[in-house]
Amino acid sequence: MNQQGVRWTAEQVLALAPDDASRRAGSRLGAAGPWSGGGSDGSGAVWGLCKGSGSKPYRTAVDTTGPAYTCSCPSRKFPCKHALGLLLLWAADGEPVRGSEVPDWAEQWLAGRRARAAGGGDGPAGDGGRPAASADPRAARRRAEQRAARITAGAEELEQRLADLLRGGLAAADRAGYGLWEETAARMVDAQAPGLAGRVRELGAIPGSGPGWPVRLLEECALTHLLDRAWLDVERLPEPLAATVRTRVGLTAPADGPAVRDHWSVLAQYDTSDGKLTTRRVWLHGRGTGRAALLLSFGAAGRAPGLALPVGVVIDAELRPHTGAGQLRAELGEQFSVPLPDTEPPAGGTVARALAAYGTALRDDPWLDSWPATLTGVIPVPSQDGGWQLADADGGSALPVATAALGRPGLWRLAALSGGRPVTVFGECGHRGFTPLTAWSADTPETVPLT
């Protein structure tokens, strides 16, 4: 199949939607009725005019190599419902997008993207690349030193808070309520240590959270204490571990590792939100290198994160890794072709192998919650405590499904896909269990998102 003939599936298109409302609205626009003047070409561009409530139709264009979007509608969502509808029409090879003559307005946008990409000044979503270096290195160094001093003061204050907690006894921690934890977290924000603030909020959610919560609180307090002490002695640590500590307290690690070009399978994409910031995680797997990579994108004030890649495709692209011990985060660089459909899952292993990989990663990053893993030949089965497990088909070992994943529709989708037979599952393996994100059955090469 040549690049011009490649079509995404409807499921891959809808996976790009920023929320359920956009998914529903985009689906309604995936029919030919409101569209005119559309077309597509072999470079990955799709365009069309969508009739709206006004006198002029909305001009919508998508560059599927990013993917990147533009639309003349006033929506702040990214992609908007018109871009989703246009992509659904394209995925179905609809008549309105079979033209090949690019209109001037679409050509101007596409040419601008190509020019910025050639000059290295545009990211994959068309909304800017890496920030420019500071014009005054001395001023930047002074600001960095001032922030480090504030973080140090915050870490010392947090150490005192943990000492007071232990002195009063963990069993009484639920009597103080959440307000004291939130006040401490706000102090960490003031100290410009968002990583410490996040850990404090997690600590505050543990008291009264169910049987055994004092043990969990003690474990998390110990990890927070370890991070505090690591920051206070960060200058004495080996550089890879020091970079990880800086990242964990909230400093941004630069993406200055050597570029890695590969054919990257897009394995999973999902969003999390703390009410103020939405974080999008995209997991990739290099077919040639065998390495995993995590792309992060953020959206604030009701805006969806800018980066969106359809699950189940392969992109020929360069990634630039961030520094730090055991860090998987990377930035998406130049892409050398349009995304192509993925035909097979990544190589995986047993439950024991996934646990061993997580254990090895913990040596480099003791604060690591989970590690990417692909399990092959596992069967989802109910457990006696009311949860679920992913068990090796040969009965060797089993991993509990993380509690947070038990109430999601993806678990039932996985059970239906398996039907009691072995499947391949990609997800995150950690101390809370396994979170399934994507699955494949032996009957079909189709990638099935579980998020």
Distance CA 215, CA 238 (A): 31
Q: What is the DSSP letter of 369?
A: -
Residue 363 in tokens? 């040596």
What is the DSSP secondary-structure string of 280-302?
A: EEEEEEETTT--EEEEEEEEETT
What pLDDT does 221 receive? 95
Residue 298 in tokens? 């953020």
Distance CA 438, CA 451 (A): 8
Q: What is the DSSP letter of 322?
A: P
The letter for the amino acid at 49 is: L
Phi-psi region of 186 (alpha: psi -120 to 50; beta: other; left: phi over 0): alpha
Distance CA 135, CA 137 (A): 6
256 backbone dihedrals φ, ψ, rounded to 5°: -115, 15
Distance CA 57, CA 33 (A): 13
Q: What is the DSSP letter of 128?
A: -
How far from chain centre, in Å, is Cα 358?
A: 19
List the chain pLDDT tens, one digit each, 451 residues.
Answer: 334 445 778 887 887 888 888 889 999 999 888 998 888 887 788 999 999 888 899 999 998 887 889 999 988 887 899 999 999 988 887 677 877 788 999 999 988 887 776 665 444 444 433 344 445 788 888 888 999 999 999 999 999 999 999 998 888 888 878 888 999 999 999 999 999 999 999 999 999 888 889 999 999 999 999 999 999 999 999 988 998 999 999 998 788 889 999 999 999 999 888 777 888 899 999 999 999 999 998 877 666 777 888 899 999 999 999 877 557 999 998 888 778 888 889 999 999 999 999 999 999 899 999 999 999 999 999 998 889 999 999 888 999 999 989 988 999 999 999 999 999 999 999 999 999 999 999 888 789 999 8
Distance CA 206, CA 216 (A): 7
The letter for the amino acid at 12 is: Q
- Please check whether residue 48 is in contact with residue 60, taking contact to mean a CB–CB distance below 8 angstroms: yes
- Please check whether residue 328 is in contact with residue 372, taking contact to mean a CB–CB distance below 8 angstroms: yes
User: What SS3 class is residue 159?
Assistant: helix
**Residue 98: exposure state from Cβ atoms within 10 A (0-12, 13-18, ≥19):** exposed
Distance CA 437, CA 148 (A): 37
What is the distance between the terminal CA atoms of the chain, rounded to a whole angstrom? 29
Q: Which helix (H) or strand (E) holds 422?
A: none
What pLDDT does 276 receive? 75
Nearest to 388 by CA among 417, 412, 364, 368: 412
Helix count (H) and strand count (E) of the chain? 11, 16
- Please check whether residue 209 is in contact with residue 215, taking contact to mean a CB–CB distance below 8 angstroms: no
